[in-house]
Amino acid sequence: MDRILVVDDEKRMRHILQLILEKEGFIAEQAENGKVALAMLQEKQFDMVITDLKMPELDGLSLLEEAKKLDADMPVVVITAYGTIENAVEAMQKGAIDYITKPFEGEKIILTVKRCIQFSKLTGEIKVLKEELMRRFDFSGILAHSKEMLEILHQASLVAKAPDSTVLIQGESGTGKELLARAIHYNSVRSEHRFVAINCAAIPSELIESELFGYEKGAFTGAHKRKEGKFEQAHGGTLLLDEIGDLSLEAQAKVLRILEQKEFERLGGNESLKADVRVIGATNKDLDTLSEENAFRKDLLFRIKVFPLYIPPLKRRREDIIPLAEHFLGEFSQAMGKPHPGLTEPAKVFLRKQAWPGNVRELENSIERAVIHSPDGNIDVSHLTLPSFGEKETREVDVDYILPAEGIDLEELERSVVQQALEAADNNQSKAAQLLGLTRGKFRVLLKNIKKEGPDEE
């Protein structure tokens, strides 16, 4: 229930306001002047203050300033006589959310109070959501253990402090290019404004310009009213051009003009609009090769590639696999109400040895599917090797092994790998076979041959 502090040096006025508010279900408390009210604000939690302007000891304006020091989001409404509207305007400039003139009607008081409290709650919700976004996209919140990703996050934190510099993020699909772009935005001074993303590959070429730049009413058949484009929506903030390599050459020319001149026109319009936007491009294509083939403008490439970042595929940064898997496991287990989640050691070995052609996105999907199949959230190899419905599982091991110059003892290596697989699988031959990508029959043959070759069998 909302608690309101009524401040007025006239006892009758305080009493009337309290009755009006309590009749509508609010909790109302009284203070005879600003000094008393300030002491109450320091001791108790109130959702709103209604204060008269002219009072002894501490007037309404002074109380307003002190209340804002205690809580900058505290909604304050001032009550004023007709002769002191100027003071009411001054109060608004100092942070009052509204003012009520004397004499007033009870209905107007209630409407004003309800509107102000609703506005205050929305402001609070927006603040909480913004703080959540800041936590979610803070660089320290992005899981990274590999030296490659840690260096990328360091570089991204540097460019976040340069709010006008363009950025090009390259990497395979599913590596987290948009996540990195959002982190750059939310850790920059542009975070007060919008982050807008558009997938250039998902929009037909004949529509991409209207999506980027907007259009005027009547610009083409079906343009019944003016529409803002992505550049206009992102004014003051950041625009992510995802899959920028799929832009048509004509659209590339217009994007280049925006980057050079900081202005554009809507389709069908003549008015030049300012574009105060940081542009981040993202692609899984080799733009250098495309530019050599005249499929991507070299001048645009130079403009967008001021600060290039490359996210390596997951198979090249295996140190990140288990931390990411455990993070996804915790999220999905909580969402599905499965307590005490965990990855068995064989499951960890299995995850580390996969090629992950779909990168982090594929890992996330695999963990989600495993949690669905697991009764308690604990994940074993059996939960990770279930094929997707209607699909044939085609996982391949990518060991990234480089033969040393001095060579190796292949038989000894085989013996060591098999022994490690058995230990990881608690001597369960079926699970050990899965870890090595073998059928149980082939594994038993391999195990038999190794035992014959081993020193104990000689």
pLDDT for position 412: 79
User: Has residue 235 got a pLDDT over 80?
Assistant: yes
Arithmetic mean of pLDDT over the chain:
86
Look at the block and give the residue holding tokens 């058949």. Answer: 221
Which has more confidence, 82 or 349? 349
Cα dihedral value 175, 176, 178, 184, nearest 10: -130
Q: Would you say domain 410-457 falls under CATH 1.10.10?
A: yes
Residue-wise DSSP of 352-412: HTB--TTHHHHHHHHHHHHHHH-SSSEE-HHHHSPPPTT------B-------TT---HHH
pLDDT for position 419: 83
Structure tokens at 379: 């994940």
pLDDT digits (tens, 9 = 90+) for 338-360: 887 899 999 999 999 898 999 99
Q: What is the CATH number of domain 3-131?
A: 3.40.50.2300
What does DSSP say about strands 167-171 and 307-311: parallel, antiparallel, or unpaired?
Answer: parallel
Does 3-131 match 142-312 in CATH topology? yes
Structure tokens at 117: 């409290």
Structure tokens at 148: 């490659």
Sorted by where each begins, the domain ranges of the chain are 3-131, 142-312, 316-384, 410-457
DSSP letter (8 states) at residue 33: S
* Lowest model confidence (mean pLDDT) among 68-82, 226-240, 374-388: 374-388
Closest CA to 376 of 403, 343, 406: 343
Look at the block and give the residue holding tokens 């058995």. Answer: 422
pLDDT for position 458: 39
Closest CA to 182 of 168, 172, 197, 171: 197
pLDDT digits (tens, 9 = 90+) for 268-300: 888 888 889 999 999 999 999 999 999 999 999
pLDDT digits (tens, 9 = 90+) for 252-267: 998 999 999 998 889 8
Q: Angle 205-213/249-261 helices, nearest 10 degrees?
A: 20
Q: Give CATH superfamily name and number for 142-312.
A: P-loop containing nucleotide triphosphate hydrolases (3.40.50.300)
pLDDT digits (tens, 9 = 90+) for 53-66: 888 888 888 999 99
Q: Which parts of 262-358 fold into alpha helices (H)?
A: 287-292, 298-304, 321-335, 345-352
Confidence label for 454 from pLDDT (cuts 50, 70 and 90): low
Long-range CB pairs of 420-427 (<8 Å, 24+ gap) are 421/349, 424/345, 424/346, 424/349, 425/346, 425/381, 426/346
pLDDT digits (tens, 9 = 90+) for 396-426: 444 455 566 677 777 777 888 888 888 777 7
Q: What is the CATH number of domain 316-384?
A: 1.10.8.60
User: Has residue 364 got a pLDDT over 80?
Assistant: yes
pLDDT digits (tens, 9 = 90+) for 10-52: 899 999 999 999 999 999 999 999 999 999 999 988 999 999 9
pLDDT for position 389: 47
pLDDT digits (tens, 9 = 90+) for 111-160: 989 988 888 888 877 777 766 666 666 777 788 899 999 999 999 999 99
